[in-house]
Amino acid sequence: MSVDTASGEGKPAGPFRLFPHLASWLLALVLIVSWQIAANTVPGMTSLASSPLLVAERLITMAANGDLWRNLAPTLEETFGGLLLGLVVGICGGVLMARSRFAATMLDPYVIGINGLPRVALGPFFVVWFGIGILSKVLLAVSIVFVVVLFNTREGIESIDHDLVDALRSMRANRWQMLRHVTIPSLIPWLLAATKIGIGLALTGAVVGELVGASAGLGWYITNSLNVIDMTGAVTALLIMAVVAMAMYYAVLLLERRLLAWRPRARTQ
């Protein structure tokens, strides 16, 4: 197997780089075909897990009659709103607790307590408190996301290289220069990692809120489908959510490669 010696990293060159991607698509194809075969051969399989052909047909129908966007749009709004607000709250809390020993000592028990709560089970409470509108879903997503962001932000600040800080101080670097050249570059990888985790958490919060009480959304569509034993509709909504989560994850991954281009390629690949 040839090796890319130009980069000096021992990476497979040429078509060998495509093997993992091809294997991933091949695995997806095998799973879909196996699912369809099981649906055709196992009695009662379609009533339990539908089939790829039925899901594809339902997806086309939803796109044609407008149900796809009508239910996808609220879920996207709630997910993005919960993720963004969770990032803001988590970053602010993480910076405060990392910079202030008093704040860390005072808030640590409460953060640990909140993190230990089954916040998915709090869905009914949020709906009762804030109604069935978008606010309850966004706040539920925030309650799940912000703890992960807070922990990562705090750890990122506390793990800053003190030798690098001392070196810049010896060169009379001001606070802005310290923030720009040390704090932010050290914190970005932690925030990106928290964001990739937070995508799934925010989507979970939004959908759980819709399952409890909503007038539209993918979670609402799942509830309605299951109420009439429509497994095709429920499975279709689940697959749509999986695609949304993957699309958001890869968007963050592309952003990570751009923002961390200064790091060794192997760590941002």
Position 262 scores a pLDDT of: 63
Calculate helix-pair angle for 67-99, 134-158, nearest 10 degrees: 40
In tens, the pLDDT along 28-56 reads 899 999 988 988 888 878 888 888 999 99
pTM: 0.82
Question: What's the confidence (pLDDT) of residue 5?
Answer: 45
According to the model, what pLDDT value does residue 245 have? Answer: 92
Q: What would the pLDDT profile of 14-30 be if each residue is shown by its tens digit?
A: 556 777 778 888 888 99
pLDDT digits (tens, 9 = 90+) for 124-183: 888 889 888 899 999 999 999 999 999 999 888 887 777 666 676 777 766 777 766 777
For residue 214, pLDDT beyond 60? yes
- Domain residues of the chain, as ranges? 67-268
Superfamily name and number for 67-268: MetI-like (1.10.3720.10)
User: Nearest to residue 201, comparing CAs of 80, 69, 72, 73?
Assistant: 80
